[in-house]
């Protein structure tokens, strides 16, 4: 899935973009298929019992929700470098009962796979989280039952750590992927662990509490143990030095050699090898894939996902949607990656249903090699009115492709099947929550997008919630002139939405790879995600200053494009640095993309003073002096990024990212951190999810209500109880 993200650092009315590609693994034999189908049938019987439990849980009183007559509070809380927000689901009540029932089943399917993300991020994550949840009540008692300020301080610090683990789906930061550790002492943690019933702790068979503490303490407290979930440092073994649970006992070279033997670069419809498996060595030392499927790795959770998807099949809106859901069930049951492609084609063709779902192993950001994908789900329905803006762009996709500054041989002669819409999000899960994208383009397979098209969406109610949560202040601090600030206040909201729209709709869907050249993850390797996101960003940036948008009626004037140019340069060169500790280089793909684009444009435009670095009142600013020349520079860089993508030019990709996207000016970095600290705005945000509650009559769902929990910790604890399907280790 190509994604667009918004940075809280840019909640000064600006959207930031991010994203990535996807991949996959080998087909299963017919005998394996039969076995896993039997397993699915057996587990489905158990799930029937679970559905009754889920429905009864759904009817139970919910704690910490917003009263019906109270104003909706978007901002829930802030801790560490994070803010927890809430979003509403406008229009849900007007949906037909059958559509609501469908969304409820998709909601349950989404959340049933939640624990998979924890385990994928790090093999010890589930055990760590369950430990923290077991001692959570005892830790709250320390806050309320004592006047010892030191113990209260320790307890509060452990609370923050626990919330960070929930927010990041593990012990590594959700964005930087660096490990974070508690600020409380190991002694305090150990005392709490020893104070609770051992039966509530995630002990292994025959393990004592002391043995458990000896094992879990360094996993939690030692910053050098599994220090980075995804390592992108050049010249490192990216597999061995990354803490994710996608590989075990293999090196980067062994992994690359393994897939080099499988991949046929001449195949016009390549399988996404590695997408849904863990690569490891068996007892004989042979490299094997453990496929994520019913009856395989993560089978317990996927059985529940399949059960709820099966319920959704029965109430699908259209034959096309029914077929897509059936193929998704078949894919999870067999693990066959050809079936995954068939599902994606069917999903793209489902354009008439108002409801929709993203569910699968989709994004490969967590794998430094770009093969294996994280579990995620986004459940939604179409916002009919808001879709008009994004549809106007999608309908002109061929015009945008024809008029692109990229080389003619890299253009698609026939852009097909682009479906563009604004969606209302109902729930997100796995890798899409609590931190969420604001835009999506799927599927990831280049050949499917070329032959069958793609779906591009803007998560409308998520974007609206970000806007309502705008803390202010950043614009006044980092924008250079009153003119720039006024333009941002007037147009940046629309500019950010349009950037998201075009990034997804015509950005990721544009261009083509030359025949015989492999996919970007094979040719551009660890630089593929940053290059792809830069390419999509540049398509959007280039056209934001095109009169065509005025002609289409989606912008009142090119002042909208200027507002986005101001923001993009300001954020790429300064704003996003708040996400880095002083002295760090840029490793995260989306940040590399933004800095690379902004810094390249700044350096290449120096002679003509296109972007000027100005010092005023002892503070640094970047101001755009010539928007048309900047547009020309964006066009030049877009042409180059498309060329190296189409031709698989690894050396050029590496040079661009390493030269412009990685290194940080330490003096400017220190200044930005100091200026931003005064604003008291956490640079990252995520969401508490709405809760769907089915209404039953005579055992049948006749309606579904939406509730809005307001307590982040309580929701996480509820999820862990209700959706606990995986063992501590998988």
- Residue 23 pLDDT greater than 90, yes or no: no
| DSSP for 114-151, written as a single string | HHHHHHHH-TTHHHHHHHHHHHHHHHHHHHHS---HHH
CA distance 574 to 594: 10
CA distance 40 to 691: 27
Lowest mean pLDDT, pick from 34-38, 377-381, 544-548: 34-38
- Residue 7 pLDDT greater than 80, yes or no: no
Buried residues in 198-220 as b, exposed as e (16+ CB within 10 A): eeebbbeeeeeeeebbeebeebb
CA distance 628 to 558: 11
What is residue 48's predicted lDDT score, i.e. its pLDDT? 41
How do residues 129-159 score in pLDDT, each as one tens digit? Answer: 999 999 999 999 999 887 889 999 999 999 9
Tell me which residue of 135, 188, 141 sits closest to 162, measured CA to CA: 135
- Taking the alpha carbons of 373, 375, 376, 377 in that order, is the dihedral positive or negative? positive
For residue 78, the surrounding DSSP H or E stretch is: strand 75-79
* CA 389 to each of CA 263, 300, 396, 561: distance values in angstroms, whole numbers, following the listed order: 40, 42, 12, 16
CA distance 620 to 351: 48
Quote the mean pLDDT of the chain.
Answer: 90
Token digits of residue 482: 């009153």
- What percentage of the chain reaches a pLDDT higher than 70? 90
CA distance 62 to 647: 55
What is residue 57's predicted lDDT score, i.e. its pLDDT? 36
- Residue 36 pLDDT greater than 70, yes or no: no
What is residue 474's predicted lDDT score, i.e. its pLDDT? 87
CA distance 82 to 683: 7
Question: What is the C-alpha end-to-end distance of the chain, expressed in Å?
Answer: 25
In this structure, are residues 296 and 276 in contact, taking their beta carbons and an 8 Å threshold?
Answer: no
- pLDDT confidence of 58, banded at 50, 70, 90? very low
CA distance 577 to 571: 8
Give domain limits for the chain: 75-88+123-228+708-723, 383-513+537-681
* Chain CA centroid to CA 423, Å: 16
The label of the residue with tokens 């002096």 reads: 625
Give the β-pairing of 439-442 and 454-459. antiparallel
CA distance 555 to 474: 25
Q: For residues 382-399, give the mean pLDDT.
A: 92
- Residue 572 pLDDT greater than 90, yes or no: yes
What is residue 69's predicted lDDT score, i.e. its pLDDT? 63
What is residue 18's predicted lDDT score, i.e. its pLDDT? 32
Give the β-pairing of 454-459 and 418-430. parallel
CA distance 542 to 548: 11
pTM of the entire structure? 0.84
Lowest mean pLDDT, pick from 257-266, 351-360, 640-649: 257-266
Q: How many CA atoms lie within 13 A of 648 on its CB side?
A: 13
Token digits of residue 604: 């290449």
Please, what's the largest Cα pairwise distance for the chain? 76
* Chain CA centroid to CA 548, Å: 31
What is residue 2's predicted lDDT score, i.e. its pLDDT? 55
What is residue 468's predicted lDDT score, i.e. its pLDDT? 86
How do residues 426-471 score in pLDDT, each as one tens digit? Answer: 999 999 999 999 989 999 999 999 999 999 999 999 999 998 887 5
How do residues 582-609 score in pLDDT, each as one tens digit? Answer: 999 998 999 999 999 999 999 999 999 9
How do residues 274-304 score in pLDDT, each as one tens digit? Answer: 999 999 999 999 999 999 999 999 999 999 9
- pLDDT confidence of 19, banded at 50, 70, 90? very low
How do residues 59-99 score in pLDDT, each as one tens digit? Answer: 333 345 555 566 899 999 999 999 999 999 999 999 999 99
Q: How many CB atoms lie within 10 A of CB 410?
A: 18
Give the β-pairing of 277-281 and 287-291. antiparallel
In this structure, are residues 708 and 66 in contact, taking their beta carbons and an 8 Å threshold?
Answer: yes
Lowest mean pLDDT, pick from 359-363, 399-403, 625-629, 678-682: 678-682
- Angle among Cα 304, 246, 589 to the nearest 5 degrees reads 110
In sequence order, what E strands does 492-607 have? none
CA distance 547 to 555: 9
Token digits of residue 410: 């890299």
Q: What region, left, alpha or beta, does residue 453 occupy, with left being phi > 0 and alpha being psi -120 to 50 degrees?
A: left
């Amino acid at each position: 899935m190509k994604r667009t993200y918004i940075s809280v650092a840019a909640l000064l009315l600006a959207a930031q973009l991010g994203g990535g590609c996807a991949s996959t693994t080998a087909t299963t034999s017919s005998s394996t298929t039969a076995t896993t189908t039997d397993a699915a049938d057996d587990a489905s019987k158990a799930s029937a019992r679970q559905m009754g439990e889920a429905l009864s849980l759904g009817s139970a009183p919910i704690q910490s929700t917003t009263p019906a007559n109270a104003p909706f509070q978007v901002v829930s809380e802030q801790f560490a470098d994070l803010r927890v927000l809430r979003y509403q689901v406008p229009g849900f009540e007007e949906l037909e009962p059958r559509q609501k029932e469908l969304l409820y089943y998709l909601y349950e399917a989404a959340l049933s796979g939640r624990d998979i993300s924890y385990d994928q991020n790090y093999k010890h994550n589930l055990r760590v989280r369950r430990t923290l949840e077991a001692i959570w009540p005892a830790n709250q008692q320390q806050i309320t039952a004592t006047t010892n300020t030191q113990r209260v301080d320790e307890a509060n610090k452990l609370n923050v750590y626990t919330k960070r683990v929930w927010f990041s789906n593990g012990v590594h930061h959700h964005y930087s992927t660096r490990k974070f550790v508690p600020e409380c002492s190991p002694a305090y943690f150990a005392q709490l662990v020893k104070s609770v019933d051992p039966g509530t702790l995630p002990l292994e068979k025959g393990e004592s509490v002391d043995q458990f503490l000896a094992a879990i303490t360094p996993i939690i407290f030692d910053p050098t143990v599994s220090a980075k979930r995804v390592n992108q440092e050049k010249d490192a073994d990216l597999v061995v030095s990354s803490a994710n649970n996608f590989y075990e006992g293999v090196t980067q070279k062994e992994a690359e050699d393994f897939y080099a033997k499988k991949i046929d670069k001449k195949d016009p419809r390549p399988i996404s090898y590695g997408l849904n498996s863990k690569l490891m060595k068996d007892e004989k030392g042979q490299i094997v894939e453990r496929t994520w499927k019913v009856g395989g790795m993560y089978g317990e959770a996927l059985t529940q996902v399949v059960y709820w998807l099966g319920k959704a099949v029965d109430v699908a809106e259209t034959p096309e949607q029914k077929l897509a859901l059936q193929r998704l069930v078949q894919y999870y049951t067999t693990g066959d990656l050809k079936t995954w492609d068939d599902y994606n084609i069917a999903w793209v063709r489902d354009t008439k249903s108002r409801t929709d779902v993203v569910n699968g192993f989709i994004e490969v950001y967590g794998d430094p090699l770009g093969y294996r994908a994280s579990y995620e789900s986004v459940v939604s329905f179409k916002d009919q009115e808001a879709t008009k803006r994004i549809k106007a762009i999608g309908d002109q996709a061929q015009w945008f492709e024809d008029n692109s500054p990229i080389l003619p041989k890299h253009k698609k002669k026939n852009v097909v099947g682009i479906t563009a819409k604004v969606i209302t999000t109902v729930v997100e899960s796995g890798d899409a929550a609590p931190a969420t994208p604001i835009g999506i383009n799927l599927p990831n397979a280049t050949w499917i997008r070329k032959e069958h098209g793609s779906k591009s969406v803007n998560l409308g109610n998520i974007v609206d919630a970000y806007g309502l949560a705008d803390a202010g202040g950043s614009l006044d601090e980092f924008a250079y002139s009153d003119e720039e600030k006024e333009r941002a206040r007037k147009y940046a909201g629309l500019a950010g939405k349009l950037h998201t729209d075009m990034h997804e709709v015509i950005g990721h869907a544009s261009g083509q790879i030359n025949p015989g050249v492999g996919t970007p993850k094979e040719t551009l390797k660890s630089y593929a995600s940053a290059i792809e996101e830069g390419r999509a960003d540049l398509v959007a940036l280039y056209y934001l200053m095109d009169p065509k948008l005025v002609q289409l009626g989606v912008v009142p004037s090119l002042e909208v494009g200027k507002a986005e140019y101001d923001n993009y340069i300001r954020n790429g060169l300064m704003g996003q640095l708040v996400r880095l500790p002083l002295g760090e280089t840029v490793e995260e793909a989306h940040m590399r993309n933004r800095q690379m684009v902004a810094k390249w444009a700044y350096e290449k435009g120096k002679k003509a003073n296109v972007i000027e670095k100005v010092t005023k009142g002892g503070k640094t600013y970047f101001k755009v002096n010539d928007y048309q020349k900047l547009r020309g520079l964006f066009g030049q860089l877009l042409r180059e990024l498309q060329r190296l993508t189409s031709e698989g030019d690894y050396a050029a990709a590496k040079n661009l990212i390493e030269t412009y996207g990685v290194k940080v000016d330490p003096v400017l970095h220190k200044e930005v951190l100091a200026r931003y600290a005064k604003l008291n705005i956490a640079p990252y945000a995520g969401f508490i999810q709405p809760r769907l509650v089915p209404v039953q009559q005579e055992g049948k769902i006749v309606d579904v209500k939406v509730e809005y929990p307001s307590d982040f910790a309580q929701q996480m604890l509820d999820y862990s109880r209700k959706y606990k399907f995986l063992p501590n280790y998988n």
